[in-house]
Amino acid sequence: MDYKNILKNIIKCMGHTYSKGFGSFLATIIVAVIFSAIPLAILTRLGLHKDFAVFLLGPLVLFIAVAGFWGDYQKTLNSIELIEQTKRDIISLLKNKGTKITVSDINAFLKHQNLDEIKQLCEEMYQNGEIDFAGNGRYFILSK
């Protein structure tokens, strides 16, 4: 079996998707080769020309790649939504308290359990003008 040509066709089928920067190239190639090598062997044993067999397996390989990328995409969307929700919670907390609150207190009130992440979010929100900084790691929102 000519795995070099199989790999070339897989890369050609998925090249556009990988140029967009999704997923792990090597991991998807390995999975695609494993899942396409067995059906390819069966199809060539049945007398199909290798190029035609690879052509028939292209959708299978593409499906495997898209399924992997879809999972990565969903994880990314969930992470973004979680970050946005945390930002909304920080703003709500600062508005409700109406005083200067330290990052560790924000972390405790939100029960987030990741002080570094809260600190980074607060710094980003301050840089974006969403919240105000009082010094010594304390944040607040000016009443308007």
pLDDT digits (tens, 9 = 90+) for 34-81: 555 666 666 666 666 666 656 666 666 666 666 666 666 677 777 888
Q: What number of other Cβ atoms are within 10 A of residue 83's Cβ?
A: 14
21 located within any domain: yes
Whether pLDDT at 33 is above 90: no
Residue 21 clears pLDDT 50, i.e. is over it: no
Q: Please compute the mean of the pLDDT values over residues 80-100 and round it to a whole number.
A: 92
Structural domain includes residue 90: no
Q: Please tell me whether residues 113 and 49 are part of one structural domain.
A: no
Is 89 a member of any domain? Answer: no
Q: Both 108 and 55 in a single domain?
A: no
- pLDDT of amino acid 39: 62
Sequence-ordered alpha helix ranges (H) in the chain? 3-19, 25-45, 50-97, 103-110, 115-127
Q: Higher pLDDT residue, 134 or 20?
A: 134
Residue-level pLDDT at 87 = 94
CB atoms within 10 A of CB 94: 23
Domain that holds residue 133: 98-140
Residue 67 resides in a domain: yes
pLDDT at 142: 85
Query: Do 71 and 131 have their domain in common?
Result: no
Residue 106 has phi, psi (to 5 degrees) of: -60, -45
Do residues 69 and 103 both lie within one domain? no
Q: Say if 92 falls within a structural domain.
A: no
Give how many domains the chain has, as a whole number.
Answer: 2
For residue 14, which of 69, 77, 56 has the smallest C-alpha distance? 69
- Shared domain for 113 and 69, answered yes or no, is no
Return the CA Rg of the chain. Answer: 25
| pLDDT for 65 | 65
Least confident span in 48-62, 100-114, 129-143: 48-62
Q: Among residues 48, 77, 106, which one ends one of the domains?
A: 77
Q: What is the pLDDT of residue 77?
A: 73
